[in-house]
Amino acid sequence: MAKVLFGKNISAGKYQLLLSSLKSFPDLLSDQQDQALWLVTDNAYDVQSYHDDNAIELIIMACEGDDSEHIQLAKNFPKLQHLLGANAPYEEDELVKMWAELTCQNQWGPQSIVEDCLFERRLYFCDSSSIAQSIDQLLNEQDFGAHLIGQIDYFKTTANELITNAFYHSPFGPKDRKNKINLKDDQSIVFEVAINQKRLAVSVTDSYGLLSWDKMVKAIARAQEERRFVDEGEGAGLGLRMVFDNSNQIIVRHCPNRRSEVISVIEHYKRQLDFKQRIKSFHYYMRDHL
């Protein structure tokens, strides 16, 4: 168990909110010695000044302002693994889920993010040439209209990019995206979608765990900085940035060499403007075991 440490420069309002979110996690506020520390702040200066302290295991930051600056910060300070959009519609709920996941370590799938599901669907992909067709079919079979106002294209793009990435980062097939891949059943890519009254979550899980936090943050940061595709790799280097742009929250769970899961959360907004103005959250959870 770790202990939560509040940054020196945290604002009073955020401190109260964070403290309130910790009500059900008293162990995280205990005073036991020799515990790893999880630094919590809403101030970038705290991230920089505490980052090199060996006692700090990870950093959680409530973010305001420009999303791309937060990604740059995470790229430069790898212990910063939780970025919480300061204008999140269910901020405390998001924090409570984060504490639960950080202390429990065994959650997979979108169900813990999307409680009281109204709709849930799971698809297994072995054939990379069936991605777009399967997503279209899902959208035809299920009316997502009320839950994805103006965001159907975002949903399609996100699903397409995450599943395609999972196929072509697998150790089992060609890397060139013009070549199709057929995986065995036990190597299949799992796609899940879950919806409740607050949000929709798209989850893509692979069975080989090669998508690290570092890779993901660097890929998004590069695409944001350079605004160009890459020609030397297998992908275009733009897909994760598109997923980031099309999501309100990204949640990554990673058990190295065994499993990776990326969840894109799209919250329900009446207006696209509100969706776009929501500062993005990004959570990374490292797993020691499945």
Partner 1 sequence: MSEKLVIQTQISGQKVEAQFIGSIDEDASFEKLTGLHMTEYVFDFAQVKLMNSCGIREWIKFLEQLPSSSKTIYKNCRQIIVEQMNMVQGFLRENAQIESFYAPYYCEECDKESQVLLKMSDVKDRKAPQSLCPTHQCPMEFDAIEQQYFNFIRSK
Q: What residues make contact with partner 1 under the rule CB under 8 A?
A: 129-133, 136, 149-150, 153, 156-157, 160-161, 164, 177-178, 226-229, 231, 235-239, 241-242, 245, 270-273, 276-277
Lookup: tokens for 162: 């995450």
Smallest separation, CB 251 to partner 1 (Å): 21
Distance of alpha carbon 176 from its chain centroid, rounded? 26
Q: Is 104 exposed, middle or buried (0-12, 13-18, 19+ CB in 10 A)?
A: exposed
Sign of CA dihedral 86, 91, 97, 100: positive
Give the separation between CA 234 and CA 29, rounded to whole angstroms: 46
Cβ nearer to partner 1, comparing 79 with 177: 177
Give the separation between CA 238 and CA 242, rounded to whole angstroms: 6
Give the separation between CA 263 and CA 253, rounded to whole angstroms: 8
If you ran DSSP here, which 8-state letter would residue 187 be given?
G
Give the separation between CA 279 and CA 290, rounded to whole angstroms: 31
Cβ nearer to partner 1, comparing 51 with 156: 156
Smallest separation, CB 178 to partner 1 (Å): 6
Cβ nearer to partner 1, comparing 270 with 289: 270
Smallest separation, CB 245 to partner 1 (Å): 7
Sign of CA dihedral 60, 65, 71, 77: negative
Smallest separation, CB 160 to partner 1 (Å): 5
Cβ nearer to partner 1, comparing 48 with 87: 87
Cβ nearer to partner 1, comparing 184 with 270: 270
Cβ nearer to partner 1, comparing 108 with 275: 275
Smallest separation, CB 229 to partner 1 (Å): 4
> Across the chain, where does the E strand assignment appear?
3-6, 37-41, 56-63, 80-85, 119-125, 189-195, 199-206, 249-255, 259-267, 281-286
For 47, 273, 280, the CA distances from 219, given in Å and listed in that order, are 21, 26, 16
Smallest separation, CB 71 to partner 1 (Å): 14
Smallest separation, CB 35 to partner 1 (Å): 42
Cβ nearer to partner 1, comparing 134 with 212: 134
If you ran DSSP here, which 8-state letter would residue 31 be given?
-
158 close to 264: Cβ distance less than 8 angstroms: yes
